Structure 1
Amino acid sequence: MAPILVLGEALVDEFHDGHVAGGAPFNVARSLAVLAVPVRFVSRIGAKDAAGRLLLDSAARFGLAVDGIQRDAAHATGRVSVREEAGSHRFEIHADAAWDHIEASAGHDTGIVYFGSLAQRHAASRAAIRATVKRAPGPRFLDLNLRPGTDTPELAAESLMLADWVKLNEDELGSLLAWFEPTLPALMARFALQGVVLTRGAAGCALHGEHGRLLAEAPGVAQPGFVDSVGAGDAFTAMLLGGMALGRDPGATLRLANRYAAMICGVRGPLPADPATLAPWREALHALPAEDRA
């Protein structure tokens, strides 16, 4: 199986009680690695700073290869200040980080390609990511993340035109429907999308195929030991991509992805400190039934 190519930011989330490795693509890539799904991660970190060493140490713990992580002598590793407020969180994503200067990845044998909108905030990374995605032979999966600075119709449209699949939440879907087309089927037709994954928080999630047809749904999963929701969406995405790459049943994959995301809400940061605790999730993914292609 060709590895999933994951492109984008790797950074350090700075909580009031400590620093943890983060960045949506890095979270996705580490999950895929520990779930035993082949993955290649491309990002950029500072050449010699402590934050970069933290990221490399985390990649090693999760079994993620670091040969695609570029080193930058002129820009520091990315940082995000996380401010927790009434069970939610607010991010301050610091500007001009090393991941804003990702260089285009050399050609590799890849399967699904994952890319996001946040890593396209700077012209250098934007050009590199788009050039790499355009060359990719496999399905292109966009994780839309409409944060300040990357929440424009122009960036959304340019990203959607590159994508085959897109994951978004209800607020992001509302923005797209206001900007481009009034219905999901029309939106998918406009951008020639094969699939849309819609996350709905406590209401669960849904998978839509071509022409907006509902393919599968999964109910919300409660987390009684809630700690924070950082990385829950990334965990969901990783499990979903793993199921897609392995050819697993979409409905079963969606339900497992939802449970995996709920579990992440019970730990500090985007992943457990000990990767060994994820072994049952790896086993559950590989035990999912195969997709019925009849």
Structure 2
Amino acid sequence: MPSLVLVIGEALVDEFHDGHVAGGAPFNVARSLAALRAPVRFASRIGEGDAAGRLVLDSAVKFGLDVGGIQRDAAHATGRVSVHEDAGGHRFEIHADAAWDHLQAIDTTGAGIVYFGSLAQRHAASRAAIRAAVKRVSCPRLLDLNLRPGTDTPALAAESLMLADWVKINEDELDRLLGWFEPELPALMARFALHRLVVTRGEAGYALYGEQGRQIAGGEGVAQPAFVDSVGAGDSFTAMLLAGLSLQRHLPATLALANRYAAMICGVRGPLPADPAALTPWREALHALPPEEARA
């Protein structure tokens, strides 16, 4: 049976110069999972009745994501991020004291995999709720270590790593962890008792590391000739990985598909296509992957 993926964290609105789109790494992951037909529950918090919150809810419904786990906050507005773009990429200005900073108790019933990040832990209230939920489960826990200003401290990283079994990071984040904690990958993984570490490398592809820091899978980058922006590319990779784990698909094949999926996302504005129908071929490709036992 597929495992329910519990996704915890921020839902917000990314404000581009040419329009606003719903975003937030966990929300991107959750919407992808729903569109890929992997069982998912999303736990977040938005403002009660504000325009940004309505945009979040409308997008969730459009992608088939149940909104029952999204809390409403009468005192704090839905989160906003100003996206500043230039020739070198994009820079995020994440506005403070959003509804998702005040996340309350999270329902973990039936969770088979838990996804959580570091950004949603920037405020004491949400940090307490997230850690309580993650500690309560006995299933695999995947940490998306998103080192943004304000949540890019060694202490927060270490506390989050200690709660994780799997970690997904990019190359820059890996370099920071090696500088903070251990200079070599095997020692870093041993220090935090990590089962798997996934490193995304943008145009250079990805790598999966297992016991003793040994690389057990990897792939080259996939070109995107019609590049628009890289917003959400890492989230789409993570979503496809989680979907494959949920559906018990062959892991190296899942990672290769995740790599191609992330490249596709770089060809659309924002973290997901405007029309969820664009994800149908990816859903079909996921469900056609061989089962995990075929790896033997």
TM tier relative to shorter chain: over 0.9
Asked if the contact 2:6–2:108 (Cα under 8 Å) also holds between the matched residues in 1, the reply is no
Closer/same/farther in 2, CA of residues 8 and 2 from structure 1, 3 Å limit: same
CA deviation after TM superposition for structure 1 residue 215, in Å: 1.0
Aligned partners of 1:148, 1:34: CA distance in 2, in Å?
31
Give the Å deviation of 1:87.
4.7
How far apart, CA to CA, are the structure 2 residues paired with 1:168 and 1:107? 24
Match of 1:8?
9
RMSD of Structure 2 on Structure 1 (CA): 0.9
- Gaps of at least 5 residues in structure 2 are none
**Deviation of residue 137 (structure 1)?**
2.1
Q: Report the equivalent of 1:63.
A: 64
Displacement of 1:209 in angstroms is 0.9
- Which residue of structure 2 aligns with residue 177 of structure 1? 178
* Pair 1:286 & 2:265 matched: no
1:27 positional shift: 0.2
Taking the aligned partners of 2:181 and 2:88, their CA distance within structure 1 comes to 33
Distance (Å, rounded) in 1 between the aligned partners of 2:107 and 2:249: 29
* TM-score, reference length from structure 2: 0.98
Is 1:23 the counterpart of 2:24 in the alignment?
yes
Partner of 2:263: 262
Q: Deviations over 1:138-176 (max 9, x none)?
A: 100000011110110000000000000000111111111
> Within 1, Cα distance between the matches of 2:234 and 2:110?
27
What is the match of residue 274 of structure 1?
A: 275
**2:104, 2:190 → 1: CA distance?**
32
- Contact 2:13–2:24 under 8 Å retained in 1: yes
In the alignment, the residues of structure 2 paired with residue 290 and residue 208 of structure 1 have an alpha-carbon distance, to the nearest angstrom, of 21
- Structure 2 partner of 1:209: 210
**Residue in 2 aligned with 1:36?**
37
Aligned partners of 1:219 and 1:255 also within 8 Å? no
Q: Decide whether the 8 Å contact of 2:119 with 2:151 is kept in 1.
A: yes
Shift in alpha-carbon separation, 1:270–1:154, aligned structure 2, 3 A: same
TM-score, normalised to structure 1, is 0.98
SS across alignment from 1:162:
coil
| Number of aligned residue pairs | 294
Alignment partner of 1:20: what SS? strand
Shift of 1:290: 1.5
Aligned: 1:243 with 2:244: yes
Q: What is the deviation of 1:106?
A: 2.7
Which string of whole-angstrom CA distances, capped at 9 and with x for unpartnered residues, describes residues 111-138 of structure 1?
1100000000000000000000001121
Instruction: Give the equivalent residue in structure 2 for 1:47.
Output: 48
How big is the shift at 1:91? Answer: 0.5
Task: Please give the alpha-carbon distance, in whole angstroms, between the structure 2 residues aligned to 1:174 and 1:266.
Answer: 27
Distance 1:107 1:206, change over 3 A: closer
Look up the equivalent residue of 2:222 and give its one-letter code: V
**Cα deviation code 1:86-122 (max 9, x no counterpart):** 0510110000000000012134111110000000000
Tell me the distance in 2 between the aligned counterparts of 1:252 and 1:194. 19
Instruction: For structure 1, list consecutive stretches of 5 or more residues without a partner in the other structure.
Output: none
Alpha-carbon displacement from aligned partner over 1:219-258 (angstroms, at most 9, x marks no partner): 1001000001100110000001111111111111111001
In structure 1, how many angstroms separate the alpha carbons of the residues matched to 2:173 and 2:54? 34
2:101 aligned with 1:91, yes or no? no
